Amino acid sequence: MQNKRIIQVEDKVPPKLLVPLSIQHMFAMFGASVLVPFLLGINPAIVLFMNGIGTLLFTLITKGKAPAYLGSSFAFIAPATLIIQQWGYPYALGGFVVVGLCGCILAAIIYKCGTKWIDVVLPPAAMGPVVALIGLELAGSAASTGKIVGEGVTSATVITFCVTLAVAVLGSVLFRGFLSVIPILIAILCGYAAGLITEAVMGEHVIRDGIAAALQQPLFMLPDFQTPKFNLDAILIMLPVLLVIANEHIGHQLVTSKIVGRDLLKDPGLHRSLFADNFSTALSGLIGSVPTTTYGENIGVMAITGVYSVRVIGGAAVLSLICSFVGPLAALIQTIPGPVIGGISFLLYGMIGTSGLRILVDNKVDYGRNRNMVLTSVIFVTGLSGVTLQIGNVSLSGMTLAAIVGMLMSLLFAAFDKLGISNDLAE
């Protein structure tokens, strides 16, 4: 960090820096964020619109003190797919609205009760691995998106992936001055160029044809707005996701707090950020978009670049809004090759995993105490083992199941302490 200046949350950014930094954030979230509407069978333009609106609302509600970009949430995909198959997409929208409103109610409860319960329910020995799992369980997704595993692996995809990852890694430690704050953007551009070159060498024209098709899109297009419908059964299928997104949100805020060097759970407060996150989800359901969530990809960008300014995040939100109306722009961004997105995600997801380990280090977790060793061990294995708990139509696995297991174990250990029967009580 000695070779680059930290740009703090409230710092102003000159226009010559603001534009490329904002573009970097938008590119970082784009691949994952537009994947969700594709999986649910809707036009991604409405999602880009809501990403921009949601991010600006989040910044406003948190008083500009919590830098976060809101992108499409993956937590809703499984129940939403089930609802769409049985009743149709409008009823999934109704579920989004209800979950978002319930999340706002949860934020109000936290406002009244405070956040001290987090240290009991998720102590550092549990929160560290839970946060780490947010990134680690996505490692497979980054590899498959990058087309270095599974079907579709070719020498071209591997070269493009490696070029993107290499530029991002080397740039983060070698670039100086202005270049040191945009290594992700440079890596994306280099990866894109590598994709075009390798395609040309192999006689393929997928990216080139995509660019040609994008330039033929209408200059101005309105997003596809829809209204929700409500069904009690559909709502009950969707409602358990609230636990998932609450855990994810707390984890993201803890990671961001470590990165920016401020306790965001206290100022602006967990109640504000959680309310803003869920209010955006409810609003998304009302207009036909998918739920939003604070994005790990953008947290990773902040960790690598040392740029935490909410003005940069706001700039990315404005760009997302513009892309939702300008057809060629949105279509051009969609031509970014999968190996490029995968190469960037490979690094960014790893940064989130490392942030979880940092929680353990910063809190000086004592693994001489049996409870800490057991907590961290069981949480990691639960999250990475692929174990799934099926409750009705809801499946719990990965970080979500690991967080629930960690919370139950922490509460049990706290009860043992109250009874004085623990064998590792602190002196």
Spell out the domain ranges in the chain: 15-365
For residues 160 and 144, give the distance between their C-alpha atoms in angstroms, rounded to a whole number: 14
In 3D, which of 262, 247, 255, 258 has the Cα closest to residue 64?
A: 262
The model carries a pTM of 0.78
In 3D, which of 221, 200, 185 has the Cα closest to residue 336?
A: 185
Q: Cβ distance 285 to 97 under 8 Å? A: yes
Phi, then psi, of 179 in degrees rounded to 5 = -65, -25
Residue 395: per-residue pLDDT: 67
CA distances from 259 to 216, 249, 253, 408, 415 (A): 42, 15, 10, 28, 33
* Regions of the chain short of the pLDDT cut 50: 1-3
Q: Cβ distance 356 to 133 under 8 Å? A: yes
> What is the identity of the amino acid at 38?
F
Q: Please write the tens of the pLDDT for every residue from 31-47.
A: 678 778 876 878 788 99
Provide the 3-class DSSP secondary structure of residue 158. Answer: helix
Structure tokens at 322: 């513009």
Residue 1: per-residue pLDDT: 38
Residue 2: per-residue pLDDT: 43
Phi, then psi, of 222 in degrees rounded to 5 = -85, 140
